[in-house]
Structure 1
Amino acid sequence: MDASGSTLTAAAQAIRALYRPTDVAGTLAAIVEVARLSLDDVDHVSVSLAGRDGSLETVAATDDLVRDLDRLQHDLGEGPCLHAALDAETVVIHHARHEQRWPAYMAVAVRRGVRAQVGLRLHVDDRVLGALNLYSLAADRIGDESLQLAELLAAAAATALGGVREREHLRTALESRERIGMAVGVVMERFGLDAERAFDYLARTSQHGNRKLRDVAEALLAPPSEAR
């Protein structure tokens, strides 16, 4: 089998592993572990997710070293992972000690032992989820075959992560709807209201107290000893 064939085989095996978890935490753990085990020349991996304000937070990592380096990039507002997520799809650094971009970050990264680094944007269509961050401590260069596989993994990881997040959001929304419906029933019984007026009562309580409707519903459904 030629190099491209072996890359595709490795990618297929790795991608299957990304879709096994059924929740966000499990998917994130699978992404960093699969990437670490699948990519030659890569010693540590992390995933940073984008917040609504455009900030990045590292939510999964194979080592505290890369958590520290990710945090440093976030604090400095510069670095390959930040640049990959916010400005470019892929950033590759070979021979880190000679890298001229992001001087404040690179000085610390090289001192901590980083010799090569790659940042890959995680996105679904135009929606940026974050970045997949690869660190090499043993090699000055991450090989072309590993880079090709990393691109495939990043695309698959974004799809897997986006899908599981949507399922979790849907599950939460359905659970909230069910709990709110139960609370409407309590209000109907307690005050002799029809369903529409009972819901309006909950909505007014939510607005006046500056509380989420789900929280108002939970307070009504809580046992008397737990009610606030």
Structure 2
Amino acid sequence: MGEVLRTLAVEADRTAQPLGLGNPERLRAWPHVRLHSLTYERLELLDPAKEAPPDGTEPQGARVRSAQLWLGLARAALAGQLGADEAPPTTPAVIAQAIDAHPKAEGYDQVIVGYLLQITEELKAAGGAEAVELRRRTSRLIRAMKPETLRRLLEMGGDFAQRQRFALDATHGMAVDAVLEIVRAAADTSNQSISHSLVRMLSKLAAHAEQGGAAAAEDPELRAAAVPRRPRRP
């Protein structure tokens, strides 16, 4: 680790070329550390005056952030499987498969949970076509994950109250069937029982909501009521 820090601490103007522009093999010199060169091809300067269009359309900054969060999640999920300049696949099923296949590791799981939390926060406030696409991708990702993977990620939430908060935040803006997957995983992780009759009823409501449009599918009261809560003491 000391050698890695010494290498990173060298100022770029003191060497013939920056570390990220040099031999890619140098970035892979350490078996337990992976470095990625920082590239700027897809970056653009945004005019703050254009961040809030008068016609009510989605600000450009929100569109950029939605795309950045999803790409960040994809790259984190496939960490160690991509080349330095290789773009990650963005298909939800491929990302879910990578997370499922990764062995349980606290650092890896924390990064994935961190991105999911950032995405749910973005979905609370963002609107427009990019938010709809981010919501669709995230819902498909949750549905594609194995139940044991969801439980593993929810365990990173800490105690019961933190897991409940994680589950509640993660359900905002997602399709109802994805919400049910999170509810089941949260209940299992917290050693809480959930009525099979209730699950069947919610599944029927989910199917009805998908047919009834976005307004029905995004009912916040239904989502809040579905998240497991600590039983009251007599």
| TM-score relative to the length of structure 2 | 0.24
- More helix as a share of residues: 2
- More strand as a share of residues: 1
**Whose relative contact order is higher, 1 or 2, with alpha carbons under 8 Å and at least 6 apart?**
1
